[in-house]
Structure 1
Amino acid sequence: MEKPVLHLENADIYQRDNLVISKVNLTINKGEFYYLIGKTGSGKSSLMKTLYGDIRLQSGTGTIVDFDLKDLKDREIPYLRRKIGIVFQDFKLLNDTTVFGNLEFVLKATGWKNKVEIKQKINEVLEKVGMQSQYYKMAFELSGGEQQRVAIARALLNDPELILADEPTGNLDPKTSLEVMHLLNEIHKSGKTILMATHDYQLIVKFKHNTLKVEAGELFEVSQQTTV
């Protein structure tokens, strides 16, 4: 049996000193796609931040891509983030840098040195997201949808075992949201594991996947048949 990509057991999720979700039990295996839904302020983002090491796991146990979240050392966080891809609502691109430069920055920061290999890798991920012809543009020149495509390309750079997408369509119009969702689905079909926090119920209805809901301080799975 392959080890799960993500496993939480009786994990308490905090936002500063407030307990926002208690006793989380969750297992996500390789190749699965889960939505994470819940009202604003319910703790979705705090759970995501706990998974990528921004918030400490204080009680319960948790492993993500073979890292122990409870005993995670500060120096290990960059290595954890190389094994997961993170896509944010607000893209977090370097605005005054080209598309190519944004991706090159991440590769160099994660230890890539060979210029030819860097260029090949950047071309490969840009091709996957349909942005290869825009590699020379500055990030601020791109539309929201294009910026999110670049952000997804960035998340794919180190061939992550898990992609955490935190409201990836939150700043996009409905048409662009659909395009980004199609792209995430294609990436999922290629074998990637995805956990996506969203409040866009139209996407959940259109693209059916496992759905987790945070409500009243608890996390539980909802079936596709029930109204979310």
Structure 2
Amino acid sequence: MSETIVQLEDVSVFQRENLILNEINLEVKKGEFVYVIGKTGSGKSSFMKTLYADLPLKQGKGKIVDFDLKTMQEKDIPFLRRKLGIVFQDFKLLLDRNINNNLKFVLKATGWTDSGKMENKIEEVLEKVGMKTKGFKFPHELSGGEQQRVAIARALLNDPELILADEPTGNLDPQTSVEVMKVLQEINENGRTIIMATHDYALILKYPHKTLKCDGSKIFEVIQKAI
């Protein structure tokens, strides 16, 4: 595995026929934490969707965790996503089952079969996000912050090389956002690479990292000014 996790050269991002972003050149190395910021509608989510192959890469060159986004076939997408952890704004937990079974569902879907190993893995990831005692609860019994912690635990199940977090604090109040951010920080400090789309500027100032801005169909690095 190379030290470069994401490499984009002259990439354009399309939604169907509409050009959203163009001339993207980006390198993300192992262990980096990168923010993607920009107004609603500036292309943050389309950019993230291109990285996890929800939107096809039509123009430019793109490699992510050693997969070529340009030449990728439909059948390769599940294998790419096993090397990624994806965290969404709206948690995407299955409401009809408890947290342990939510996580077990993902493990089974990605090829795990040994129930003992699955239980150990579930316990390990829930411990990482401070939710070890909550596995028997159903999503509706948890606060928004707790649900997002579970979503982060789910993203860690297959030891991803890269975590893509798309507005992970978008539905949370400021205090809860900070708690979730601390979890992501810790995961990053343990060597995981994270790309996080956000419009929460307070968090960016509190936890400064490399920051890319989507604006006027371009992505460029911005230098954060301390306030």
Both proteins in one fold, TM over 0.5: yes
| AA at the equivalent of 1:197 | A
Query: Matches of residues 130-141 of structure 1 in structure 2 within 5 Å?
Result: 130-141=130-141
Contact 1:96–1:140 (CA under 8 A) maintained in structure 2: no
Query: In structure 1, what is the Cα distance between the partners aligned to 2:110 and 2:32?
Result: 26
| Partner residue in 1 for 2:164 | 164
Distance 1:96 1:73 in 2: 33
Within 5 Å, give how 1:24-173 maps onto structure 2. Answer: 24-173=24-173
Q: Which amino acid aligns with 1:156?
A: L
Q: Quick one: which amino acid aligns to residue 208 of structure 2? A: K
Aligned residue pairs total 227
Structure 1 stretches lacking a partner, 5+ long: none
Runs of 4+ with >4 A deviation = none
Query: What is the TM-score of this pair, normalised by structure 2?
Result: 0.98
Which SS does the other structure have where 2:97 is aligned? coil
Paired letter, 2:215: E
CA distance in 2, matches of 1:24, 1:143: 37
Does 1:182 pair with 2:182? yes
Q: Which whole-Å CA distance do the structure 2 matches of 1:39 and 1:54 have between them?
A: 21
* CA drift at 1:6: 0.4
Percentage of identical aligned residues? 62
- Aligned equivalents of 2:3 and 2:180: distance in 1? 29
Counterpart code for 1:7: Q
Q: CA deviation at 1:141?
A: 1.5
Question: Residue 96 of structure 1: CA displacement?
Answer: 1.3
Deviations 1:64-98 (CA, angstroms, capped at 9, x unpaired): 00000011111111110000000000000101110
Which letter maps to 1:199?
Answer: H
3-state SS in 2 of match to 1:24: strand
Asked if 1:14 corresponds to 2:14, the answer is yes
- TM-score with structure 1 setting the length: 0.97
Aligned-residue offset at 1:2 = 3.4
Unaligned runs of 5+ in 2: none
Question: Would the aligned equivalents of 2:205 and 2:226 in 1 still touch at CA under 8 Å?
Answer: no
1:171, 1:73 → 2: CA distance?
A: 34
3-state secondary structure, aligned to 1:7? strand
SS of residue paired to 2:62: strand
- Contact kept, 8 Å, 1:15 with 1:43, in 2: the verdict is no
Counterpart of 2:155, as a letter, is A
The alignment partner of 2:14 has SS state of: strand
